[in-house]
Amino acid sequence: MFNYSKLLAVGIIALTGACSSSNGADGAGSGAAANNGSVGGNGAGANNGGSANGTNGGTGNGGAANGTDGGSGNTTVGGDGNVGGAGTAGSGNTVCGTALCASATACGSITDPCTGNLVECGFTNCPQVLCGVVTPNECYPCTATTCAAEGKNCGSISDGCGGVLDCGTCTDPECCGCAPTGTTGVPNVCSSGSTAGSGLPQVCIAGSQGCLCDSRGGCAPGLTCNTARNPTVCCSGTNCDLPANVPTVATCSGTGTARCTPGITIPTASGTTDNCGYPSTSFKENAFICGINATGGGAAPGQVQAFFNDEMSTTLGCTQNGYTVTPMQSNPAYAFYPNTGDPACVDVNGRPMRPSLFITDITNDPNCKAGDQQQGGKPYDPVAVYGTWKAATNGTPDANPTAFNYWDLGTNADPVPAAIAAKCPCQPPPAGVPLPSSSGYNGGNVAAYNNCPGTSGQAKGFGTEAEYEAALVSGHSYRLQIIGHDGDQTQGGDSGEACVTFCAGTGVCVPLTCLDYPATAIGQQSDGCGGLTPPCNTCKPATCEQLCPPVTGSTPLCSSVGDNVVYAISCPKSDNCGGTVNCYCKIG
């Protein structure tokens, strides 16, 4: 007779195991069948682990035909099968609690499979940047390199395991990444000769201490150009270091690929904004900034030339509080490293009275404006001025020079680019026609004014070039903002602004990105230009939906957003990278 009591007992044991856990290890094998039928407990017998799959299971009380290993634990009445053999023993207990951290490679926060709570294993034996890179909550095996092993002796490089190595500095006359003329320097290796094109790693005013010598091979008064250095820099005696208070240029990290479009790019103004992207009504004299030109960068100083022309001469700065402004000695005149007066002198809108350059490194973010005057950026002063200008005394503009100079900026000035001259055409009147005086620019010779068209019946005529020189990293893209003032306090300050984008140098130092490195490169890597990339190939944190896939259908068992309807119970999970993500579990 068939033993139904035995079947009932075995079935109860099997179903109990199935409800306890769904993740048991190897199940117990099939037991021997009674008579011609097999009782399909499939691993439930002697199941000490409580698992449906028979964790730590012994020999079952009935199984599938042919004695195969146990499976799901569902009760099945066998047919005319062969007698089953002995079952396979279970593989071990489920690891729970602090035992999850016993492995030397365990890291971060791990979800306990027994309670659903988080167990904190920390990062004592594993930097977080290496946690979960390949296996969730397991430390990526990595052996850190050294500067010597990589053949590097200067600058910063990656240790290959998420850390950064300082390989030291070079001793004069060698410099980091430099090379003899006509050859290419090796990144992070000291050598003599001219640079590979990247120049200094920080923006600074050429001619100042620790910065590049200017385009004439000179420096500001009191400093000398050290030609034994590569690149050449200005020194105070033997001190060739940048002062500690030199600010770094404003920059934005961005998320895009570094780009540097060669040459000058001029942003387009719209009907409501000027070409700097600010309301067109905020500046009244944008038209008097006729154009901006830029060249150089890298081992040579980047030169930025701003050209102004207006019926009022450009204000060079304010004479007040013990500060002075370099006066004109002739018309046209020039001055190298001019005094630009009190740096605190601003107009009624808080804009500098002196012609100022504002710089933003936009290599990784073309929309960055962090260095603009409106964002609190640092103003850079001109290293030279040509043509005509005036001062303001205690904030009140001085008189204009006695005569227009048009675009005659003097023999030392840079040629006015054709495109800029075409935008602001301003030539002396024809031969035989007297030059009007500055005091009569509204009622003088009409023929002269036709050669210098202005606005509201007022002619242009006072031409100025303000030249700026700065150490700009070759291959980096910069937003250049010029703000100038004609010294007329009408219309809320009579100041103007203009912007261009400039790719510095020859582009030989285009920063590398993570895409340039193999998948085995973990953490920050050298960008080839003296800096570091963002962390590369690190673990990608899992979302709640990925951590709680649906058992049936398409609805995940948890969500990153709680709606108090389907997902209402807060249940933090391990994100598989050592961190946690706050999830909301499905109700029911």
Q: Is residue 169 part of a domain?
A: no
Query: Per the domain annotation, does 62 fall within a domain?
Result: yes
The alpha carbon torsion through 318, 320, 326, 327 (nearest 10 deg) reads 80
User: What pLDDT score does 235 carry?
Assistant: 93
Q: What is the pLDDT along the chain (588 residues), one digit of tens a residue?
A: 434 333 333 333 332 333 233 333 333 333 333 333 333 343 333 333 333 333 333 433 433 333 334 344 443 444 444 444 444 444 457 888 888 898 888 888 888 888 888 888 888 878 888 888 888 888 888 888 898 998 888 777 878 777 788 888 777 556 666 544 444 557 777 766 444 344 666 778 889 998 889 988 999 999 999 988 767 889 999 888 888 777 678 887 765 555 666 778 888 888 899 999 999 888 888 888 999 999 888 778 889 999 999 888 999 999 999 999 999 999 999 999 999 999 999 888 889 999 999 999 888 888 889 999 999 999 999 999 999 999 998 878 888 898 888 899 999 999 999 988 888 888 776 666 655 554 444 444 444 445 566 544 455 789 999 999 988 877 788 999 999 998 676 555 678 999 999 988 654 444 567 776 777 777 777 765 556 777 787 888 888 888 888 877 778 888 888 888 888 888 888 888 888 888 988 886
- The single-letter DSSP state of residue 447 is H
* Angstrom distance (rounded) from CA 480 to CA 369: 10
Beta-carbon-side half-sphere exposure of residue 60 (alpha carbons within 13 Å): 47
Q: 230 with 178: CB under 8 angstroms?
A: yes
Give residue 60's pLDDT: 39
Number of domains in the chain: 2
- Residue 269 is classified by DSSP as P
Which residues, in sequence order, are CB contacts of 61 under 8 Å at separation 6+? 6, 9, 10, 13, 31, 39, 41, 44, 45
What is the pairing mode between strands 356-361 and 250-251? parallel
- Those residues whose C-beta lies under 8 Å from the C-beta of residue 48, and which sit 6 or more positions away, are 55, 56, 57, 58, 90
- CA distance linking residue 366 with residue 363, whole number of Å: 7
Please check whether residue 499 lies inside any domain of the structure: yes
In a domain, 493, yes or no: yes
Question: Of how many residues is the chain composed?
Answer: 588
Q: What is the pLDDT at residue 540?
A: 83
| Residue 86: domain span | 1-94
Question: Quick check: is 119 in a domain?
Answer: no
Give the Cα separation of 397 and 211 in Å (integer). 33
Residue 116 lies in a domain: no
From 481, 503, 525, the end of a domain falls on 503
Return all residues near 439 (Cβ < 8 A) that are at least 6 apart: none
Residue for token pair 């942003």: 267
Q: List all residues 6 or more positions away from 472 whose beta carbon is below 8 Å from its beta carbon.
A: 199, 203, 296, 297, 298, 301, 302, 478, 502, 504, 505
Domain end position, chosen among 41, 62, 94? 94
Task: Give a yes or no: residue 80 inside a domain.
Answer: yes
Position 243 scores a pLDDT of: 83
Give the Cα separation of 576 and 558 in Å (integer).
16
User: Does 487 map to a domain?
Assistant: yes
Which pLDDT score is estimated for 356?
96
Rounded to whole angstroms, the Cα distance separating 345 from 351 reads 8
Instruction: Out of 72, 94, 116, pick the residue that ends a domain.
Output: 94
